[in-house]
Chains A and B, each alone.
Chain A
Amino acid sequence: MDIAGIGGALVNAALVGFTGLLLINLSGIEVSGPTFAAVLTMTGFGLFGKTPLNVLPIILGVYISARLIGKRMKDYLIIALFGTALGPLVSALAWELGLPVVPAVFAGLTGGIITGFFLPSIAVSMLHLHQGYNLYNMGLSCGFFGLFAAAFIIGFGHSWEGQLYWYTEPSILLMLLVPVFSTLLIFTGLIHGGKQSLKDLKAIQSIPGRLPSDFVDMASVSGALLNSGLIGLIGSAYIYFVGASFNGPVIGGLLTIMGFGAFGTHLKNSWPVVAGVIIATLLTGNSLNAPGPILAAIFCTTLAPLAGEFGIPVGLAAGFVHLLMVLQTGSWHGGMNLYNNGFAGGLTAALFVSVIQWYKTNKSEM
């Protein structure tokens, strides 16, 4: 929005989201919890980093990887959709290295395909690291790959630093975008499921949320829509309350957590982690409405399964550590991984999972 204006950003977001929907449709997969999350995440990040052009080479790379081992695109669909977090790497290779147009396009295309090719293998390994307790596993995977990409680019003498564009102009349209969409989801859920949707919403609150928790399957479509809408409304209220800007990253973040409202996130498993981020923000002297802390407060819900499975104290501690981590990790991959919170969340989850597993495995029961 700071670069292309509100209209340009919204059109780009819609195109990126449509690309995701088209891919899901071509793969023959139904829209359910994970695909709903993926489309909303892609749309949201279309407001701040993804474009139809920088996501396509990565998707192609994932497809080639799948075919190499005899799998179909539908098998790696989730990896392809979320793997587009490395779109800025494609753009950087194409436009930031100072190459003439044809070599630049070739560099971006090749870099994107290579990136996508590596993602399935990395994604599966990263899952084992946190055992499904970091919802944005592709954030961790893309961050991990981004470390190598940044090292290569810098190693060959190119400087690359991510830049922060933070739109701060007040806009009624942007303020109302998520609340109106959330209300629409809530009404759709209520009309579709009636009283049962409220029961399903209650049932969703008791699910730990660990990957892969498809609330559409585990509860119902209407319950998932209600949960998603509620998360959007409460998230928007938080942004309004702390006086943060409703800009591309913030709206993108809200759309992402709404998407994951059908795939692992709910109010009961999220609040401890958010509270941990807020406490850490205040104790470190940061402002709650500064870019880093506000995005951490939204995206820290990637760690919601830790609170859902191991309780409130673990959730609070995880949120606390997450804020401190996420303020550092962006520079590690030069901002090439859009899911920086997923990267920091994955590292945080891996730390907590290691300690909890060590304790549970070694504590004497006899």
Chain B
Amino acid sequence: MKRKDLILKLIGEMASYVLDEDPMRVVISLHQEEDGLHLAIIDDCKHSDEDIEQLEKTLNSRKRPELAAYYGAMTGHDLLGSSRLNLLGWQIKHSDVVRIGDGIKIDLWLGGERFDSRHFNIPEKEE
């Protein structure tokens, strides 16, 4: 898939998710590297701890190549109904969700096989 198409799909699905909550402010930030990219989405809506836990679990779900290449085509495209972040979770390398102000910040990291995610300072998981 062309990088531009992928980015458009990811932004579309994430925007659909955050706009479901009717936020007053949304910031979408894209940082591209040669072999990877970082997408950050910030909103100002209140989210429960359960919501955030579920969101992080969905975005960091196990990789499903048999579903990603086929059903992943619907990411950010077929938006009638609830947003489906699992479509997105299968296609990214890593995600973090943190509280920021009243809302949350969702960080998504993507990259090819040669992509070195350390350049983007993915936080180490605390044991």
Task: List which B51-78 residues lie within 8 A (CB) of chain A.
Answer: 61-62, 64-71, 73-74, 77-78
* Overall SS of chain B's interface: loop
Are A127 and B74 also in contact (CB < 8 A) when A208-B81, A356-B80, A357-B80 are? yes
Report the nearest B residue to A77, measured CB to CB: B66
Task: List which A189-240 residues lie within 8 A (CB) of chain B.
Answer: 208, 210-212, 214, 217-218
Report the nearest B residue to A207, measured CB to CB: B82
Q: Is residue A132 within 8 Å, beta carbon to beta carbon, of the partner chain?
A: yes
Determine which of A34, A72, A218, A353 lies in contact with B80 in the assembled complex, contact meaning CB atoms within 8 Å: A353
Contact (Cβ within 8 A) A131 B78: yes
Q: Which residues of A contact B81 (CB under 8 A)?
A: 131, 133, 208, 210, 309-310
How close is B65's CB to chain A, nearest CB, in angstroms? Answer: 5
Task: List which B69-121 residues lie within 8 A (CB) of chain A.
Answer: 69-71, 73-74, 77-82, 84, 86-87
**What's the Cα separation between A201 and B98 when bound, in Å?**
31
Contact (Cβ within 8 A) A128 B70: no
Contact (Cβ within 8 A) A360 B80: yes
From A35, A212, A356, residue with most partner B Cβ within 10 Å: A212
**What's the Cα separation between A128 and B81 when bound, in Å?**
13
Contact (Cβ within 8 A) B78 A76: no
Report the nearest B residue to A74, measured CB to CB: B65
Contact (Cβ within 8 A) A35 B80: no
Are A212 and B86 also in contact (CB < 8 A) when A131-B74, A131-B78, A132-B71 are? yes
Q: Please classify how large the interface on chain B is, using the bins under 10, 10 to 19, 20 to 34, 35 or more.
A: 20 to 34
Query: How many of chain A's residues have a CB under 8 angstroms from any CB in B?
Result: 33
Determine which of B71, B77, B79, B82 lies in contact with A212 in the assembled complex, contact meaning CB atoms within 8 Å: B71
Q: Which residues of A contact B86 (CB under 8 A)?
A: 212, 217-218
Are A35 and B71 also in contact (CB < 8 A) when A128-B78, A360-B80 are? no
Contact (Cβ within 8 A) B78 A208: no
Q: Is residue A29 within 8 Å, beta carbon to beta carbon, of the partner chain?
A: yes
Determine which of A127, A309, A357 lies in contact with B73 in the assembled complex, contact meaning CB atoms within 8 Å: A127
**What's the Cα separation between A75 and B71 when bound, in Å?**
10
Contact (Cβ within 8 A) A132 B74: yes
**What's the Cα separation between A353 and B77 when bound, in Å?**
14
**What's the Cα separation between A211 and B87 when bound, in Å?**
10
Contact (Cβ within 8 A) B67 A212: yes
Determine which of B61, B73, B82, B84 lies in contact with A217 in the assembled complex, contact meaning CB atoms within 8 Å: B61
Q: Is residue A321 within 8 Å, beta carbon to beta carbon, of the partner chain?
A: no
Task: List which A304-328 residues lie within 8 A (CB) of chain B.
Answer: 309-310
Q: Which residues of A contact B80 (CB under 8 A)?
A: 131, 353, 356-357, 360
Report the nearest B residue to A356, measured CB to CB: B80
Q: Which residues of A contact B84 (CB under 8 A)?
A: 132, 210
From A27, A79, A210, residue with most partner B Cβ within 10 Å: A210
Q: Is residue A53 within 8 Å, beta carbon to beta carbon, of the partner chain?
A: no
Q: Which residues of A contact B87 (CB under 8 A)?
A: 212
9 CB < 8 A contacts A-B = A75-B66, A76-B69, A123-B70, A127-B78, A210-B82, A211-B71, A212-B87, A217-B61, A309-B82
Known contacts A35-B66, A79-B70, A131-B79; 14 additional CB pairs below 8 A are A29-B66, A75-B69, A76-B70, A127-B70, A127-B74, A131-B74, A132-B84, A133-B81, A210-B84, A211-B74, A214-B67, A217-B62, A217-B86, A310-B81
* A positions within 8 Å CB-CB of B: 27, 29, 34-35, 71-72, 74-79, 120, 123-124, 127-128, 131-133, 208, 210-212, 214, 217-218, 309-310, 353, 356-357, 360
